[in-house]
Amino acid sequence: MQIDKIIAEAVAKAVNELYGASVSAADIQVQATRKEFEGNFTVVVFPFLRTSRKSPEATATEIGEWLTANEPAVQKFNVAKGFLNISVDPAYWAQVLRHIAGQERFGIKPVTEQSELYMVEYSSPNTNKPLHLGHVRNNLLGFSLAQILAANGHKVVKTNIVNDRGIHICKSMLAWQKWGEGATPESTGKKGDHLIGDFYVAFDKHYRAELKELMAQGLSEEEAAAKSELMAEARDMLRRWEQGDAEVRELWKTMNSWVYAGFDETYKRLGVDFDKIYYESDTYLEGKDLVLKGLEEGKMYRKEDGSVWADLTGDGLDHKLLLRSDGTSVYMTQDIGTAKLRFRDFPIDKMVYVVGNEQNYHFQVLSLLLDRLGFKWGKDLVHFSYGMVELPEGKMKSREGTVVDADDLMDEMVRTAAEAAEGRFDSMTAEEAADTARMVGLGALKYFLLKVDPKKNMLFNPKESIDFNGNTGPFLQYTHARICSLLRKAGMENFDVLLAAQSADAPAPGDKEVALIQRLADFPQVVEEAGRSFSPALIANYAYDLAKLYNQFYHDCPILREENEPLRLSRLLLSATVARTLRAATALLGMEMPERM
């Protein structure tokens, strides 16, 4: 029972009967009426003037009169120039509420055998360092997007490509060999990803010292870099790895296993997961073979130094390196191989890459190369491009050890949540209080990072994100907990019992209730648009609007103190439906909603 569709169908029927036209509901623009005007829905009548041959005001008036006479849902109307503002009968809104409340998964479409399969790639970490704030935004966006696509009735495969090979990995391995003294996660008490990250920083520290020494001898920075023995050792280790050297491979497996264990802890705590993980070490050779095949077919070319390139100037781009002169692969080669394996493993209808906007060019090139290599899905890949996230202190640099570590950030968010609660958790056991602080802290982090248009760069302020009154995750969680408390006090925690207790004798809902019911009714369209535009921000902002409207209703309309029993029960049903919709919306953002705060 979508009221906007009922209105659209009625308007189409009115236009056809009044003016002998032939329009359908799909041709009718129905919008929520702006706050400064009276009404629930607004219809733009300008498209009908050619048929009506009357002024906008006369046309709107005639259609409005037809609706009040023929459509039971319409109570009255008013006209503002070429806009027809329609007020729905309040009693009809009560039916809409019961319809919404009667659907446990209102707004969520089921997956069927005919559903399209979307694969969403996110995270893409390197095994030379722990996850940081940038990865947090990536993981949260990717997981939320996967949830939203699933809510739109799509089959979804969540996937990750782990960058587990390359010069950066060898830098950490070499540093461990030189200065690690046999350190392990067990011997140091450190998470494996943190331990390996320390050696990546150590490599850079020694490398910089070496460059400084060489430059002091009169060499330029470029000459010093070319003469660096440390970098030469790292490159040699990479060559040995690609040649299958047993000693290098064994060290690589051991150190990567430490990192994977650390990643798994972070992912679990962050609340994200994957259905399939690919590893660059398994995919780069696939990509290399495809590039060499493309070379044989004249789709690529080789330079005098032996490197292999693609000429993309005909597509308005430049020349792209695919294999270095020593035969080693670049990221593009790996992505070509990974794409091939994924489409071999799954019947993918749409491939979505969640990667920052600094890689826009990379995915333009990948799309063209896949198409050139004969993969028909190449041109259809989606790069979900998002902006960078920074802290007030500025940008992060991995090799200098100045990144904001994901684990440290989550610790800080939970601590801040506990401090900001100011006695709110005092009635809980220590275990309940700790779990609530965890939900609030991580909820604040997730909501703050997801409420912003993903395309925009953003500044993340941990303290600003934890505010129980602003446009924040804790505000949504507190609203949900407030409703749960209300339902407990009323003895109406069972949704089915509450729904069954509704009476036809209940007074028609007032303005505050109507505004809430109308916003509840918008949820399916919001989910649909969020899936179409790949925007978790639409869900976040919807949830905030709903919570804000509920708090206005809660302030102005008595619920437990309401003496009219049918009205009290209808307000309790409205409250319970808001809580359930908040849970559904925030679940699409990966948030948990506490029942007590």
Is residue 144 predicted with pLDDT exceeding 90? yes
> Final residue of a domain: which of 390, 419, 437?
390
Q: Assess whether 570 and 424 both reside in one domain.
A: yes
In a domain, 94, yes or no: no
Residue 521 sits in a domain whose CATH number is 1.10.730.10
CB 418 within 8 A of CB 425: yes
Predicted confidence (pLDDT) per residue in 151-171, tens digit:
999 999 999 999 998 899 999
pLDDT exceeds 60 at position 365 = yes
Please report whether residue 286 resides in a domain. yes
pLDDT digits (tens, 9 = 90+) for 314-351: 999 999 999 999 887 888 999 999 999 999 999 999 99
Is there a domain that residue 113 lies in?
no
Domain presence at residue 370? yes
Of 142, 146, 536, the C-alpha closest to 354 is: 142
For residue 130, is it within any domain?
yes
Residue-range definition of the domain harbouring residue 289: 122-390
| Cα–Cα–Cα angle for 486, 490, 494, rounded to 5 degrees | 90
Q: What is the arithmetic mean of pLDDT over 494-508?
A: 90
- Residue-wise pLDDT for 404-429, tens only, equals 889 999 999 999 999 888 778 888 99
How many degrees, rounded to 5, is the angle at CA 388 between CA 384 and CA 393? 165
592 located within any domain:
no
Model confidence at 402, in pLDDT bands (50, 70, 90)? low
Q: Backbone phi, then psi, for 119, in 5-degree steps?
A: -105, 130
Q: Is the pLDDT of residue 394 over 80?
A: no
Which comes out higher in pLDDT, residue 393 or 44? Answer: 44
Domain boundary among 88, 106, 133: 88
Taking CA atoms, 104 is separated from 5, 198, 580, 581, in Å, by 21, 49, 8, 9
- Residue 467 scores a pLDDT above 90: no
Q: What is the pLDDT of residues 524-567, one digit of tens each?
A: 999 999 999 999 999 999 999 999 999 999 999 999 999 999 99
Q: Do residues 276 and 343 lie in contact, with contact meaning Cβ atoms separated by under 8 Å?
A: no
Average pLDDT score over residue span 106-130: 96
Helix (H) or strand (E) holding 315: none
Q: What's the confidence (pLDDT) of residue 28?
A: 93
pLDDT at res. 395: 46
Residue 76: per-residue pLDDT: 95
Beta pairing partners, 160: 277
Give yes or no: residues 232 and 169 share one domain. yes
* Over residues 79-91, mean pLDDT: 93
Number of domain units in the chain: 3
- Does the pLDDT of residue 463 top 70, yes or no? yes
Query: In terms of domains, do 79 and 126 share one?
Result: no
- The CA-to-CA distance between both ends of the chain, in Å, stands at 34
Tell me the pLDDT band of 375, cut-offs 50, 70 and 90.
confident
Confidence of residue 398 (pLDDT cuts 50, 70, 90): very low
The token pair at 172 is 């950490």
pLDDT of residue 393: 66
Scan for tokens 């027809």, then name that residue. Answer: 84
Helices 167-179 and 192-216, interaxial angle, to 10°? Answer: 90
Confidence of residue 445 (pLDDT cuts 50, 70, 90): very high
**Do both 196 and 269 map to the same domain?**
yes
Asked whether residue 291 falls in the same domain as residue 380, the answer is yes
116, part of any domain: no
Do 276 and 194 have their domain in common?
A: yes
Q: Are residues 363 and 421 in the same domain?
A: no
Check residues 510 and 396 and name the one with the higher pLDDT: 510
Q: How many CA atoms lie within 13 A of 82 on its CB side?
A: 11
Last residue of a domain, which of 390, 419, 436? 390
AA letter at 61: T
Residues 412 and 558 in one domain: yes
Mean pLDDT of 113-131: 96
Q: What is the pLDDT of residue 510?
A: 93
Burial bucket for residue 323 (CB in 10 Å: 0-12, 13-18, 19+): buried
Same domain (yes/no): 294, 441: no
User: What mean pLDDT is reported for the chain?
Assistant: 93
pLDDT tens digits for 468-489? 888 999 999 999 999 999 999 9
Does 67 share its domain with 132? no
The per-residue pLDDT for 401 is 46
Q: What is the CATH number of the domain that holds 256?
A: 3.40.50.620
| Residue 114 resides in a domain | no
Burial readout 534-564 (b: 16 or more C-beta within 10 A, e: otherwise): bbbbbbbbbbbebbebbeebbeebebeeeee
Neighbours of 10 (CB within 10 A): 23
Same domain, 371 and 418: no
Pair (354, 471) in one structural domain: no
What letter does residue 427 receive in the DSSP assignment?
T
